């Protein structure tokens, strides 16, 4: 039994089931906007062998399991980032783990900076496509595992996206993933816009790649917390968290729609 199977079996024993339908990953600021679940069970991430707990401010370190609309939902109240010193495999460990419990869909959320004046701070944007600009890929060959040649044409499930957009009126945009932790320079923000990005952040893209490699459907949601590259003045992490907190009701409504639409 490998480390992912051990982790999945351990989590299953703690939540009382070996079947998860939907996995929700909370990005910066989303912890206070997470949906209510029936029959809720909370498990500290450190209790799952092989799984490392997030330590970034604004991220939790627990799994919350329960039911919503007859779906068995697991929520990660935080995530790992490469800028914390973690490898791509460590960043996507939880995504790979839940697939071993039958999970078919994943909702990836994040706080993002905008590189497009049509997407000002304070807006929620559904991710319609992504650019992995981290310089890394979690599906590269490693000892005992061959490289995965994953088709990323519909990285974010178009039908799921249309259903949520129709119900909530949410905008759609392209997310660029960088490693961080420094924020973008003005030149980098201009470059990203020229490449076709609308928003930029430091997460999500590797989890999406891992999920698609495993055949999972993906829905992505960005909270635009600031204008990147000094387009509206300096930015810091406290500002990002405060901006997300001010929109938690809207964030919760879109997450509810995404769960119901899956």
Amino acid 20: pLDDT: 98
State the catalytic residue, choosing from 202, 216, 227, 243: 202
State the catalytic residue, choosing from 7, 33, 82, 111: 111
**Beta-carbon contacts of residue 79 (< 8 Å; ≥ 6 apart):** 25, 26, 27, 54, 59, 91, 94, 203, 207
> Using CB atoms within 10 A of its CB, is residue 10 exposed (0-12), middle (13-18) or buried (19+)?
middle
For residue 114, indicate whether it is catalytic.
no
State the catalytic residue, choosing from 203, 222, 257, 261: 203
For residue 3, indicate whether it is catalytic.
no
- Taking phi over 0 as left and psi of -120 to 50 as alpha, with beta for the rest, 209 belongs to alpha
For residue 199, indicate whether it is catalytic.
no
What is the span of the domain harbouring residue 80?
3-261
State the catalytic residue, choosing from 81, 156, 199, 261: 81
The count of residues in the chain is 262
Radius of gyration for the alpha carbons in the chain, expressed in angstroms and rounded: 17
For residue 82, indicate whether it is catalytic.
no
User: How far is it, in rounded angstroms, from Cα 117 to Cα 145?
Assistant: 43
User: How far is it, in rounded angstroms, from Cα 170 to Cα 172?
Assistant: 7
Quote the number of domains for the chain. Answer: 1
For the chain, 262 residues long, give each residue's pLDDT as a single digit of tens.
699 999 999 999 999 999 999 999 999 888 888 999 999 999 999 999 999 988 887 788 999 999 998 999 999 999 999 999 999 999 999 999 999 999 999 999 999 999 999 999 989 999 999 999 999 999 999 888 899 999 999 999 999 999 999 999 999 999 999 999 999 999 999 999 999 999 999 999 999 999 999 999 999 999 999 898 876 566 666 776 776 677 889 999 999 999 999 9
For residue 18, indicate whether it is catalytic.
no
> Which CATH number characterizes residue 155's domain?
3.40.50.1580
State the catalytic residue, choosing from 123, 198, 226, 257: 226
With vertex at residue 245, the alpha carbon angle to CA 241 and CA 249, rounded to the nearest 5 degrees, is: 150
For residue 81, indicate whether it is catalytic.
yes
For residue 87, indicate whether it is catalytic.
no
Local structure of 218: helix, strand or coil: strand
For residue 132, indicate whether it is catalytic.
no
For residue 117, indicate whether it is catalytic.
no
Residue holding tokens 């249309």? 162
Of the candidates 67, 110, 65, the residue with the CA atom closest to the CA atom of residue 204: 110
Amino acid 85: pLDDT: 95
For residue 202, indicate whether it is catalytic.
yes
State the catalytic residue, choosing from 8, 33, 59, 198: 59
Of the candidates 222, 220, 221, 225, the residue with the CA atom closest to the CA atom of residue 246: 225
Q: How far is CA 204 from CA 47, 114, 115, 252, 257, in A?
A: 24, 16, 17, 19, 20
CA dihedral 161, 164, 168, 170 (to 10 degrees): -10
């Amino acid at each position: 039994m490998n480390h992912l199977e051990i982790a999945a079996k351990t989590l299953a024993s703690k939540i009382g089931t070996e079947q998860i339908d939907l996995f929700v990953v909370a990005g910066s600021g989303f912890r206070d906007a997470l949906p209510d679940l029936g029959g809720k069970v909370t498990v500290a991430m450190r209790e799952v062998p092989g799984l490392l707990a997030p330590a970034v401010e604004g991220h939790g370190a627990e799994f919350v399991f329960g039911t919503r609309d007859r779906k068995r939902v697991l929520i990660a109240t935080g995530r790992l980032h490469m800028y914390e010193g973690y490898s791509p495999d460590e960043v996507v460990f939880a995504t790979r783990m839940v697939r071993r419990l039958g999970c078919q869909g994943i909702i990836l959320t994040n706080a993002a900076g905008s590189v497009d004046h049509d997407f000002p701070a304070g807006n929620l944007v559904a991710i319609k496509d992504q650019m992995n600009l981290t310089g890394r890929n979690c599906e590269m060959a490693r000892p005992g595992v061959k490289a995965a040649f994953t088709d990323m044409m519909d990285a974010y499930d178009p039908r799921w996206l249309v259903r949520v957009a129709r119900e909530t009126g949410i905008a759609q945009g392209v997310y660029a993933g960088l490693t961080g932790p420094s924020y973008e320079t003005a030149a980098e923000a201009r470059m990203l816009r020229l490449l076709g990005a609308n928003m930029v952040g430091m997460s999500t893209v590797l989890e999406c790649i891992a999920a698609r490699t495993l055949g999972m459907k993906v829905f992505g949601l960005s909270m635009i917390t600031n204008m990147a590259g000094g387009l509206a003045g300096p930015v810091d992490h406290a500002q990002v968290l405060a901006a997300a907190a001010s929109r938690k009701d809207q964030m919760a409504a879109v997450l509810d729609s995404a769960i119901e639409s899956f």
